[in-house]
Chain A
């Protein structure tokens, strides 16, 4: 299993960004995928999850209405569209493979760093 996130960068408050997570080594469409972030100096925080088909999505209250998770099973890729970014969204964003929305996070990517600052 390989998971590789990309798209993180420095962005101004109020800006938008799209993160990508490319996966391989398993039947991508059979598994849910989730985003978890690690803010500097803090602990892990769950962000969002999407089912294998893409038909079900869930969000943490802190990002609901601002972030959108989606997936393209033909490209084995999951996305996190982030808008109205705030300083508190600054974090290392990890993507992980899970069996379902309520399952352990079996495999994680290395993460991509998002910094929200003027």
Chain B
């Protein structure tokens, strides 16, 4: 099973700040890494697929990069509505697995 480790677990940030969340895989997964945003009482929403491809309708301030074992989700110019938990997910092999999540708090 491929283990995904996100950092940090929690971050408190101010609006307009730039945020970086990392996801490290226990073995190489190519670019089969995806990012989701989950707000309280809502279903998760796909933000970035295959490491760097933005999903339809996602604001341009969200971007992804990386390949192999190290990946990054970047949120430029953070907005209050970005308060959420962010998860990475690998689809390189079954069982598919998720990172433990990064909770983003807006000050």
Number of A-B contacts (CB under 8 A): 55
Interface residues in B42-60 (C-beta closer than 8 Å to A): 42-46, 49-50, 55
Interface residues in B40-94 (C-beta closer than 8 Å to A): 42-46, 49-50, 55, 87, 89, 91-94
Instruction: Identify the stretch in A10-18, A22-30, A79-87, A97-105 within 8 Å (CB) of chain B at 4 or more residues.
Output: A97-105
Determine the residue in chain B with the shortest Cβ distance to A3: B43
CA distance A106 to B43 in the complex (A): 11
Shortest beta-carbon distance from A32 to chain B in Å:
11
Contact of A43 with B91 at beta-carbon distance under 8 Å, contacts A104-B49, A104-B50, A108-B45 already known: no
Interface residues in A23-48 (C-beta closer than 8 Å to B): 36, 43-46
Contact of A46 with B95 at beta-carbon distance under 8 Å, contacts A104-B50, A105-B34, A106-B55 already known: yes
Q: Is A52 an interface residue (CB 8 A)?
A: no
A contacts with B, residue count (CB < 8 A): 21
Contact of A94 with B32 at beta-carbon distance under 8 Å, contacts A43-B99, A102-B92, A102-B93 already known: no
Contact of A108 with B43 at beta-carbon distance under 8 Å, contacts A44-B87, A60-B95 already known: yes
Q: Give me 14 other A-B pairs in contact (C-beta within 8 A), A36-B98, A106-B55, A110-B43 excluded.
A: A43-B87, A44-B36, A44-B44, A44-B89, A44-B98, A101-B94, A102-B91, A103-B91, A104-B55, A105-B34, A105-B44, A107-B46, A108-B45, A109-B43
CA distance A79 to B18 in the complex (A): 41
Do B100 and A94 touch across chains, with their CB atoms under 8 A apart?
no
CA distance A60 to B45 in the complex (A): 22
- B-side contacts of A110, CB under 8 Å: 42-43
- B-side contacts of A49, CB under 8 Å: 94, 96
CA distance A28 to B24 in the complex (A): 34
Do B95 and A61 touch across chains, with their CB atoms under 8 A apart?
yes
Contact of A108 with B98 at beta-carbon distance under 8 Å, contacts A44-B87, A102-B91, A102-B92 already known: no
CA distance A110 to B38 in the complex (A): 11
Determine the residue in chain B with the shortest Cβ distance to A100: B91
- A-side contacts of B34, CB under 8 Å: 104-105
- B-side contacts of A103, CB under 8 Å: 91
